[in-house]
Amino acid sequence: SAPTTASARASSLTFTDCQSYSNPVVFFDITIDDEHAGRIVMELFAHIVPRTAENFRALCTGEMGFGYRQSIFHRIIPDFVCQGGDITNQNGTGAKSIYGAKFEDESFEVRHTGPGLLSMANRGRDTNSSQFFITLKKAEHLDFKHVAFGFVKDGMDVVRRIGELGTKDGKPTETITISDCGQIFLSCSMFEIVFPELLLNQGSVLRTSR
């Protein structure tokens, strides 16, 4: 895990501080052993960590020719984290970012203050790539070591269900797959999430290619 950097702010930011209607919203459709389990909708803190958010957004859409679609959650520890994003080896040993093999820690402003935080998994300082995790509880010991870059806006019930399939050593008891993913655009008039089934004919959802 990466050490504390001098540029990190002393005060923590809450979800309310981090939310912005200009931030990108993305989704994962989840299957558990090939059965649909639901959708996770996430807001990315592009106004705080733009490079980190852009990496995750582009991996959700697959616009660079690779991404999260059909990747798995390979490490799940109950009451701690659900980790995925190994888009190369599918077992936690690989990863690939839109910037290359890895990229630098951007900011540690957002703290791991509760469940539903999106944060980058790493192998030390400045080793971010495509692997990420979603917290299942407050995890202060991860602050200043992992870059938190978003939160679960809807579908925390799906995240909790995934968390129940974990073990102490992290190996899931079932196969949890991101069967589809992409970006969801906000309604300009109501600032509400517009879901894909309402917009497929209007070009308002950017998805991974099939």
In b/e form, how buried is each residue of 194-209, taking b as 16+ CB within 10 angstroms?
Answer: bebeeeeeeebbbbbe
Assess whether 57 carries a catalytic annotation: no
Exactly one of 44, 117, 118, 142 is catalytic; name it: 142
Three-state DSSP string of 53-122: HHHHHHHHHCCCCCCCCCCEEEEEECCCEEEECCCCCCCCCCCCECCECCECCCCCCECCCCCCEEEECC
Reply yes or no on whether 91 is catalytic: no
Q: Tokens 């030390």 belong to which residue?
A: 124
Within a 13 Å sphere around the CA of 118, how many CA atoms are in the beta-carbon half? Answer: 29
In angstroms, the CA 178 to CA 186 distance is: 22
Whether 199 is catalytic:
no
Catalytic site includes residue 83:
yes
**Which is the catalytic residue, given 59, 146, 151, 183?**
146
- From residue 157, give the alpha-carbon distance in Å to each of 37, 75, 160: 10, 18, 5
Q: Which of 27, 80, 108, 151 is catalytic?
A: 80
Active-site position among 23, 122, 128, 183: 122
- Which residue do the tokens 């099939």 mark? 210
Reply yes or no on whether 59 is catalytic: no
Please pick, among 57, 74, 75, 112, the residue that the annotation labels catalytic: 75
| Active-site annotation holds for 55 | no
Q: Is 112 a catalytic residue?
A: no
Catalytic residues: 75, 80, 83, 122, 133, 142, 146
